[in-house]
């Protein structure tokens, strides 16, 4: 267990330093596979006009899902919108849900053909816009074996998936947002302001003169089109320019 905990800590540390969605995704997939998951998926902004799906499945599986299952025929999405508990699915758990729509039954067969007989979908709530999201992973195990697998590794995979989802959500927002040309000093001053430091304390920490910190914050406020520093800081966090 100690070895697994160390691997999780190493993964979370690397994830925190990922500078792109692609890098964070590659790190996450490698970790999930190393923990015994045969496939992994993240779905975010599911209530928006432009949802984002990241899958390890072949592209045709994702395309068929979007065309035939999402959003009206996906019971996992309906579950995740109003719950925080996991939803177990896959052909191994199909007996639990006798009234599943036919398109979803076909989707489960496609998953089984790609080494997923048992899967779990986990809701992720708490984004700044309250949008629904989820992540999930699957294995080729039968229901009984999967329950043992989940009991042993579920917490580790939950922590990894949740942190990966949140990191990628922040990176996606940053990549989709028109970039504001903050300098390194302006960004650093906003960062430490968000962590509760006063201007003089920021100056000491960054090795700058207090007048330079005041100028950096004023310039950041102008670039972020904010009337106050509080508003500038809120805009910077929402745009993913600062992660307090």
239 neighbors 175 (Cβ within 8 angstroms): no
Please check the confidence at residue 12 and state whether its pLDDT lies above 90.
Answer: yes
For 74, residues 6+ apart whose C-beta sits below 8 A from its C-beta are 65, 104
Q: What percent of the chain has pLDDT over 70?
A: 95
Question: Which of residues 129 and 43 earns the better pLDDT score?
Answer: 43
87/118 Cα distance (integer angstroms)? 11
Confidence of residue 130 (pLDDT cuts 50, 70, 90): low
Q: Does this chain's domain 2-176 share its CATH topology with 184-238?
A: no
Please check the confidence at residue 176 and state whether its pLDDT lies above 80.
Answer: no
Question: Which residues are registered as beta bridge partners of 53?
Answer: 43
pLDDT at 14: 93
Q: Judging by DSSP bridges, how do beta strands 133-139 and 118-124 pair with one another?
A: antiparallel
pLDDT, tens digit (0-9, with 9 covering 90-100), for 191-231: 999 999 999 999 999 999 999 999 999 999 999 989 899 99
pLDDT at 2: 43
190/217 Cα distance (integer angstroms)? 7
DSSP string, 35-69: TT-SEEEEEE-TTSSS-EEEESS-HHHHHHIIIII
Confidence of residue 4 (pLDDT cuts 50, 70, 90): low
Strand, coil or helix: 137: strand
pLDDT at 1: 44
Q: Of 70, 35, 31, 30, which Cα lies nearest the Cα of 50?
A: 70
pLDDT, tens digit (0-9, with 9 covering 90-100), for 50-101: 889 999 999 999 899 999 999 999 999 999 989 999 999 999 998 888 889 9
The single residue listed with the structure tokens 């009991």 is 151
CA atoms lying within 13 Å on the CB side of residue 103: 14
What is the separation of C-alpha 186 from the centre of its chain, rounded to a whole number of angstroms? 27
Spatial strand order of the sheet with 52-55 comes to: 52-55, 39-44, 133-139, 118-124, 87-89
Domain boundaries, the chain: 2-176, 184-238
Please check the confidence at residue 156 and state whether its pLDDT lies above 60.
Answer: yes
Question: Which of residues 1 and 185 earns the better pLDDT score?
Answer: 185
Confidence of residue 128 (pLDDT cuts 50, 70, 90): low
Arithmetic mean of pLDDT, 235-243: 81
Q: Name the fold adopted by 184-238.
A: Arc Repressor Mutant, subunit A (1.10.10)
Q: Which two tokens stand for residue 25?
A: 């995704």
What would be the CATH architecture of the domain defined by 2-176? 2-Layer Sandwich (3.30)
């Amino acid at each position: 267990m100690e070895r697994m905990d160390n691997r999780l800590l190493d993964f979370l540390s690397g994830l925190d330093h990922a500078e792109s969605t692609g890098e964070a995704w590659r790190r996450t997939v490698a970790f999930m596979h190393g923990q015994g998951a045969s496939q992994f998926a993240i779905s975010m902004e599911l209530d928006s006009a432009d949802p984002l799906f990241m899958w390890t499945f072949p592209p045709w599986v994702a395309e068929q899902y979007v065309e035939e299952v999402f959003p009206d025929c996906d019971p996992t999405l309906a579950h995740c919108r109003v719950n925080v508990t996991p939803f177990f699915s896959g052909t191994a758990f199909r007996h639990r849900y006798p009234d599943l729509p036919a398109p979803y039954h076909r989707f489960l067969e496609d998953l089984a053909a790609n080494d997923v007989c048992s899967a779990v979908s986990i809701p992720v709530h708490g984004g700044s816009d309250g949008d629904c999201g989820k992540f999930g992973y699957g294995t080729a195990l039968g229901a009984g074996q999967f329950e043992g697998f989940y009991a042993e590794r579920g917490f580790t995979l939950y922590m990894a998936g949740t942190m990966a989802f949140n990191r990628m959500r922040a990176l996606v927002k940053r990549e989709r947002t028109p970039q504001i040309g903050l300098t390194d000093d302006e960004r650093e001053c906003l960062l430490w302001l968000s962590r509760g430091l006063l201007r003089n304390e920021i100056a000491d920490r960054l090795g700058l003169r207090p007048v330079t910190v005041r100028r950096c914050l004023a310039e950041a406020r102008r670039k972020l089109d904010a009337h106050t520093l509080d508003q500038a800081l809120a805009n910077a966090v929402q745009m993913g320019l600062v992660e307090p």
